[in-house]
Amino acid sequence: MKEEDWKQADPALSLITVLKQGENEPVTITGESSDLQCVGIGTDAAVFVYTPLPSYAFKLYTQEALSKKQAEIDVYQALDGSPYFPVYYGDGERYIVISNESGMTLYDCLINGVSVPRQVIDDVEDARQFVREKGLNPRDIHLKNILLQNGRGKVLDVSEYVQDGNDKRWEHLAWAYNNFYPLFEGKKVPVSVLEAVKKRYYRQDPNSGSLVDFANRMTRLFTRKKR
C-alpha cells in the first residue's frame, strides 16, 4: 500500500453525512456513493469500506461526535504494534482510517452457529491487559466489537478507552461464555433472542442482582424460541 493512498476515498466520503439520533441510538446516513460500502453503524459514527481500496476502513463521525475523533486517534497510536487491534493509518476532516479487518463478529457467530474457540476469550483478556499497560481503560467490549479472525480474537472500536469506570460488559460476557455458552455452542441463536437479551441486560443495574438468575431467565427465553 502506498503511503496515504487512502486519500483517494475523500471525494466519495464527502458525499456522505452521518447523523446523530440519540445517546444510545444508531446513527443514520444520508447521501451515497457507489464506491462506498457501509460495514458498521454505531451511536457516534458509521464505518465504510472504499471498494477500490478494500484494505482500509473509514470511520466517519457525526458532527456532534467530532470532538471524540482526536481522543480515538490518540488511543490507536498508544496501541500501535498490538496484534489485537486494527492498525491506524491517518485521518481526514470527519473520519479516521484504520485497517479493514476480516472475520465474523461474535454476534454473527451466535446467529450462524459458528463455534467461538477459547483462544478468542484468552486473546481479549490479553488485549485488555495491554490496554491497561498503556494507561487506558478497556471498556465497551461486547459481541459486536470482537472478531473471530483465523481462530483468534481481534477487538474493534477503542473509542471509550479514555473514559473512566468499568461497565463490566466483558466480565459478564466472559462469565456467560464459561457458564452458559456450552449449552448453545454450534447452535444458531435467533436474532430476536439476542436482541431481547441485550434489551433486558441494558435495563439491569450491572452492580446489583444475580447474574446467574439473569442468565437462567435468558436461557428459558432461548428454549421457548426454539420450540
- What pLDDT does residue 13 have? 98
Residue where one domain finishes, among candidates 83, 99, 115: 99
Note the pLDDT tens digit of each residue in 105-137.
999 999 999 999 999 999 999 999 999 999 999
Of 159, 24, 176, which Cα lies nearest the Cα of 85?
159
What CA–CA distance (Å, rounded) separates 44 from 107?
Answer: 20
Q: Which CATH number belongs to the domain containing residue 138 in this structure?
A: 1.10.510
CATH number at residue 73: 3.30.200.20
**The three cell numbers locating residue 22:** 440519540
**Per-residue pLDDT, 212:** 60
Coil, helix or strand for 92? coil
User: What's the number of domains the chain is made of?
Assistant: 2
What's the predicted TM-score (pTM) here?
0.86
The owner of cell 496501541 is: 79
Q: Are residues 56 and 29 in the same domain?
A: yes
Same domain, 112 and 144: yes
How far apart CA 56 and CA 163 sit, in angstroms, is: 26
pLDDT the model gives residue 218: 57
Q: Which residues of the chain have pLDDT under 50?
A: none
C-alpha cell at 114: 459458528
What per-residue confidence (pLDDT) applies to 209?
Answer: 52
Which contiguous run of DSSP H or E holds residue 199?
helix 191-203
Per-residue pLDDT at 83:
96
Same domain, 72 and 116: no
25 lies in the same domain as 120: no
Q: What is the pLDDT of residue 183?
A: 86
Q: Which pLDDT tens digit goes with each residue over 13-39?
A: 999 999 999 877 899 999 999 999 999
pLDDT score recorded for residue 197: 81
Other CB atoms within a 10 A radius of the CB of residue 188 amount to 13
As a whole number of angstroms, the distance between CA 42 and CA 28 comes to 9
State which of 99, 131, 158 marks the end of a domain: 99
Contact in structure between 66 and 19 (CB atoms under 8 Å): no
Read off φ and ψ for residue 176, nearest 5 degrees.
-65, -35
Identify the domain containing residue 87 by its residue range.
Answer: 5-99
pLDDT of residue 226: 52
Whether residues 122 and 221 fall in one domain: yes
Looking at residue 7, its pLDDT comes to 96
Q: Domain check: are 69 and 110 in the same one?
A: no
The DSSP letter of residue 70 is H
Does 126 share its domain with 194?
Answer: yes
